[in-house]
Structure 1
Amino acid sequence: MSHVSSHSPHGQTPHGQTPLHTVQVVGGASAGSCAHVRSLAAGLAARGVRVTVCAPEEAARAYDFTGTGARHVHVPRSGDPASVAALRVACADADLVHAHGLHAAFRAVLALTGRPTPLVVTWHNHDHTHAAGARARVLRILERRVAKAAAVVLGASSDLVDRARRRGARDARLAAVALPVPRRAGLPDAPDEEPDRLLHKARAELGAVDRPLVLAVGALERGRGYDVLLDATRAWRHLDPLPLLVIAGEGPERAALQRRIEAELLPVRLVGRRDDVPDLLAAADLAVLPGGSEPRPVLAQEALHARVPLVAAATGGVSDLVGEAAELVPHEDAPALATAVLRLLADPARRAELKNRGTAQAASWPTEDETVTQVLSVYDELTQPVPYS
């Protein structure tokens, strides 16, 4: 079958050719991978590629994959035995399958067993970082199986590319993941005084009108560094005005974190999952990223785009991502984290410097269009017929 070139503009399909059909597989656990798949689906659909996104229903609701022009097929998370069967059906007429994340990729490998459909895998996270014992051994086995089965492995950071090669990948390449630049609701057409009014409203809702506001965003899970972040807040309980740490996100650790906040009287608010993170960022004095396994964390990208000074633990590829546009501290070092936050809050000149550096650093990142173009070139390699000499 002859497919339309992946670079056909505006969804136009030349006569006698059928659109390339790609299936994007996502587990739904990572905000970075879900946002990337949504961005990729939009760019692919705009270029005339037929896109199916296989993801859990909750991820589809949160990221509106169908709003990009893609078709959504509900595929349960990896723990559900029906997931591989559902994925196999969804991939039946795919020209190429692109899986995002280790567990989604492993399900794709199982679903494509016995089929010649090319598989592209993007590794977004360091899934192994906090694993030990039997779980670490299982992850290594999954990594080897996925790396050897994939036609191409795309790594979001150079260390992930190296890891894929060590696990036996035939072809591993660096492919930075670009996310949409976040936009604050209602501001583009607002009068000059409107941003200040909205910021005041956001700070008032959070209880930070006359005090510094520090923001963290992410799933409340082990390995994200929130226990270290709570330790750090103890260092500023004596300050007047008292800085408020707001953590936006949900997860299995929420109850334990809330118990600590109440028992230790920490200046911290858990506000759950929020759809207005760009507004919260704009209202914040600082953003803080205490840990995690993503080489390109969503919060780090959003903070630099929004010109919000960032304090981050130097994990994964974070230092490569932000360069000198953030205050980096050692991982799991609460005193260093607290010191960096307090120093920045007391130094408006340094905050202004980081804002400017952040703008320059964000401008150096690949755009969504460049990311889609790179991925399409990989698809073309794997699906275009080889001409006879």
Structure 2
Amino acid sequence: MSTPTSTHGLSPLRTVQVLGYGGAGSAAHVRSLAEGLVARGVRVTVCATPESEEAYDFTGAGARFVHVPPRMDPVSVATLRSACWDADLVHAHGLRAGLRASMALRGLRGPRGGRRVPLVITWHTSPHTEGARAGVVHLMERRVARAAAVVLGACSDLVDRARERGARDARLAPVAIPRPRSGGAPAEPEERDHLRHKERAELGATGRPLLLAVGRLGPGQGHDLLLDAAHAWCALDPQPLLVIAGEGVQRAALQRRIDLEELPVQLLGRRDDVPELLAAADLVVLPSRWEARSLIAQEALRAGVPLVATDTGGTRELVGRAAELVPYGDAAALARSVLALLADPDRRDALAEAGRIQAAGWPTENDTVTQVLSVYDELTQPQS
């Protein structure tokens, strides 16, 4: 077991966790990581936006919270540097957070022997960029990868990417999905059935198949592809209903298509009841251009809901044979997989069981904290 208190008489390890705008995956990971580190005696400061603190309650996990605007201007970088002045180690989550942290730490010496404060960066995802912006992102990735003592990649694709960008040390570090933090006891089967029927009725899916997609309505998420595929089941009786939970810049354009093409699709907006939506769904569909360890894919497999997903990024590594995978950009293949599963309840049952088995083999939150703390120990050991 790693111990945060040095045998050389130094004070407990002090870490700073740096978030950008706090995407759901990275913010939930930082909340889980903070809680686990604090339980092991590590002092944790989280630098993020007030919105992230409100949503994820880092102080409730025992961490100190510092509001640091996720910008690159001198004032924001100086605020971050001030938060890091007595840190033994800084851990940034995401590309932009890593870049800001590297700027803030320039020339900063830590309390353990006056060494430079080590920077750990976790890459949770890969930004979708095209044209001139792709070149800028490439340069950012190179700078961040080379500034870090260790880059932790949420999937093998990201580890390879970090190495290609010049990382001195890049390691696979799958991020565990936090379990729901509900205080009540698990519902009895009769109650679960009642809640399922109630949710389906509220969505207008009584007596018809319910398909669920969850994710930001933005470029690279594949929602246009999903609407293309929806044409394939318009003529079915009963007609499946596709509901999409999430918000983003493409909402108005997607709604125009739904109305114009008379598609059986509802945009639900941002929802905080994804577990209830999962319990009501017959299938989950993930049409993204790229994913590392998709939260909704993990939640679907853990809940035993069959998943159809695009075979990109770390998805195959995550789900194994416990989901139907299709090429990104192939709406016909996506539609065929959905229709085949709707017509085959035995296959759906088999995928549900395979999903639960696959999920049982994923790292736990405790595993994740233990791995991260071992990296911290390695980087902060006193030099002989």
TM-score by length of 2: 0.94
| Structure-2 residue corresponding to 1:44 | 37
Residue 53 (str. 1) matches residue 46 (str. 2): yes
Residue 114 (str. 1) matches residue 97 (str. 2): no
**Would you say how many aligned residue pairs link Structure 1 and Structure 2?**
377
- What does residue range 57-206 of structure 1 map to in structure 2 within 5 Å? 57-78=50-71, 82-115=75-108, 116-127=116-127, 130-182=128-180, 186=184, 188=186, 190-206=187-203
Helix, strand or coil for the counterpart of 1:245?
strand
| Structure-1 residue corresponding to 2:347 | 350
> Residue 7 of structure 1 is aligned with which of 3, 6, 20?
3
For 1:64 and 1:261, the matched residues in 2 are separated by: 37
Give how far 1:252 is off: 1.1
Give how far 1:125 is off: 0.8
Gaps of 5+ in 1: none
Give how far 1:29 is off: 4.5
Give how far 1:109 is off: 0.6
| Structure-2 residue corresponding to 1:315 | 312
Give how far 1:191 is off: 4.1
| Structure-2 residue corresponding to 1:21 | 14
Give how far 1:7 is off: 2.8
Helix, strand or coil for the counterpart of 2:174?
coil
For 1:185 and 1:169, the matched residues in 2 are separated by: 42
> Residue 214 of structure 1 is aligned with which of 211, 227, 246?
211
Change in Cα spacing, 1:19 to 1:332, as seen in structure 2 (3 Å) is same
For 1:28 and 1:85, the matched residues in 2 are separated by: 18
Indicate if the aligned counterparts of 1:84 and 1:111 stay in contact, CA closer than 8 A.
yes
> Residue 265 of structure 1 is aligned with which of 255, 262, 265?
262
| Structure-1 residue corresponding to 2:232 | 235
Identity over aligned pairs, percent:
68
For 2:79 and 2:240, the matched residues in 1 are separated by: 49
Give how far 1:184 is off: 7.0
Indicate if the aligned counterparts of 1:181 and 1:302 stay in contact, CA closer than 8 A.
no
TM-score by length of 1: 0.92
Letter in 2 for 1:76: P
Give how far 1:294 is off: 2.6
Letter in 2 for 1:239: L
Letter in 2 for 1:51: V
Indicate if the aligned counterparts of 1:182 and 1:302 stay in contact, CA closer than 8 A.
no
For 1:176 and 1:375, the matched residues in 2 are separated by: 10
For 1:255 and 1:312, the matched residues in 2 are separated by: 24
| Structure-1 residue corresponding to 2:111 | none
> Residue 333 of structure 2 is aligned with which of 333, 336, 343?
336
Residue 288 (str. 1) matches residue 290 (str. 2): no
Helix, strand or coil for the counterpart of 2:236?
coil
For 1:272 and 1:324, the matched residues in 2 are separated by: 31
For 2:19 and 2:132, the matched residues in 1 are separated by: 25
Letter in 2 for 1:267: P
For 2:242 and 2:158, the matched residues in 1 are separated by: 32
Letter in 2 for 1:202: E
C-alpha RMSD over aligned residues = 1.9
Give how far 1:83 is off: 2.6
For 1:48 and 1:159, the matched residues in 2 are separated by: 33
| Structure-2 residue corresponding to 1:244 | 241
For 2:100 and 2:324, the matched residues in 1 are separated by: 38
Gaps of 5+ in 2: 109-115
Residue 371 (str. 1) matches residue 362 (str. 2): no
Give how far 1:261 is off: 1.1
Residues 331-388 of structure 1: CA distance to partner in whole angstroms, max 9, x if unpaired?
01111111111110111000011011111111111111111101000000111213x4
For 2:45 and 2:130, the matched residues in 1 are separated by: 35
Change in Cα spacing, 1:15 to 1:105, as seen in structure 2 (3 Å) is closer
Indicate if the aligned counterparts of 1:244 and 1:268 stay in contact, CA closer than 8 A.
yes
Give how far 1:249 is off: 0.8
Letter in 1 for 2:125: N
For 1:267 and 1:70, the matched residues in 2 are separated by: 45
Give how far 1:77 is off: 2.4
